[in-house]
Amino acid sequence: MRLGLFIPCYMDQLYPRAAHATLRLLERLGHEVECPDTPACCGQPMSNSGHAALGEDFVDAFARRYAGYERVVSPSASCLLHLKEGLEARGHPLAHHAHELCEFLHDVERVEAFDAAFPHRVGLHQGCHGLRGLGLGRPSERMEPHFSKPERLLKRVRGLELVELDRPDECCGFGGSFAVFESDVSAAMGRDRVADHAGHGAEFITSTDMSCLMHLGGLAARSHPQIKVLHIAEILAGEV
């Protein structure tokens, strides 16, 4: 099918590798993928800091630009959640055709195996917006059977060993502008997350959100330089 790929601005600028991995994953599944070349902000930074009105046109722009695709896929759960909420509020049909990457691979494509090997100990950071917002898994607060789409996908990668964490889905403390305006609490939260992964012998931390990983990776670079962060698309694409 014809897919629209949404790469958020900060991934475009700082994490092109993860974006390419996403693109190739989707192409390998036989899709025709396009990624409109315009600044792609979802408007969440404005909304999160109390300026939702400033962010509204970003949702409108997204709706216009991506309306023609059968489905839209994004490797950023957080941005996608914001866009979906905006689209739902507008009653825009695209709300139901926009997917976070893992959701797309798991629910729409039902990928059973990846042509990928990653013989490493990996910690999965379940980003809050993917987990609690998009429902990519069952958050630990809820008394329902456990499931996690990213986890299931990672288990289909040869040699990959998922580490257990003490706190399986505590927030990393990124939180958008929170990381800047509440930087002390933000960093304290992130350090604890990194320590949890490190304590369980993770060599890599992966996630559905590069923003969480930017924060965690930036902290790990100073406290646990042996730990690297990788977007889940990079692991699933088998390109590391």
Cα–Cα dist 48/110, whole Å: 33
Of the CA atoms within 13 Å of residue 43, those in its CB half-sphere come to 21
> Judged by CB under 8 A, does residue 64 bind other proteins?
no
| Euclidean distance between CA atoms 201 and 196, whole angstroms | 9
Least distance to other proteins, CB of residue 108, Å: 23
- Angle, vertex CA 196, rays to CA 104 and CA 240, nearest 5: 45
For other proteins, the closer of residues 22 and 94 by Cβ is: 22
Q: Tell me which of 83, 160, 175, 207 binds other proteins, using CB under 8 A.
A: 175
In the complex, minimum distance from the CB of residue 12 to other proteins, in angstroms, rounded to a whole number: 5
AA letter at 210: M
- CA 140 – CA 146 distance, rounded (Å): 8
Q: How far apart are CA 135 and CA 144, in angstroms?
A: 12
- Residue 6 in the binding site for other proteins (CB under 8 A): no
How many residues of this chain interact with other proteins, rule: CB under 8 A? 67
* Closest CB 202 distance from other proteins, rounded Å: 18
Closer residue to other proteins in complex, CB, 157/190: 190
CA 14 to chain centre: 15
Regarding 49 and contact with other proteins (CB under 8 A), the answer is yes
For residues 22 and 104, which CB has a smaller minimum distance to other proteins in the complex? 22
User: Which amino acid makes up residue 26?
Assistant: L
Q: Is 147 in the site for other proteins (CB under 8 A)?
A: no
Question: Does 28 participate in binding other proteins (rule CB under 8 A)?
Answer: no
Interface stretch with other proteins, choices 63-71, 142-150, 151-159, 201-209 (CB under 8 A): 142-150
26 belongs to the binding site for other proteins (CB under 8 A): no
Per DSSP (E only), the strands in 65-135 are 71-74, 98-100, 121-125
Taking CB under 8 A as the criterion, the residue among 77, 101, 198, 219 binding other proteins is: 219
Identified binder of other proteins from the candidate list 28, 32, 38, 89, rule CB under 8 A = 38
- What is d(CA 91, CA 85) in angstroms, rounded to the nearest whole number? 10
CB atoms within 10 A of CB 22: 28
Residues 6+ apart with CB under 8 A from 218: none
Binding interface with other proteins (CB under 8 A): 7, 9, 11-17, 19-20, 35, 37-39, 41, 45-55, 57-58, 128-129, 132-133, 139-144, 167, 170-171, 173-176, 178-190, 192, 214-215, 217-219, 221-222
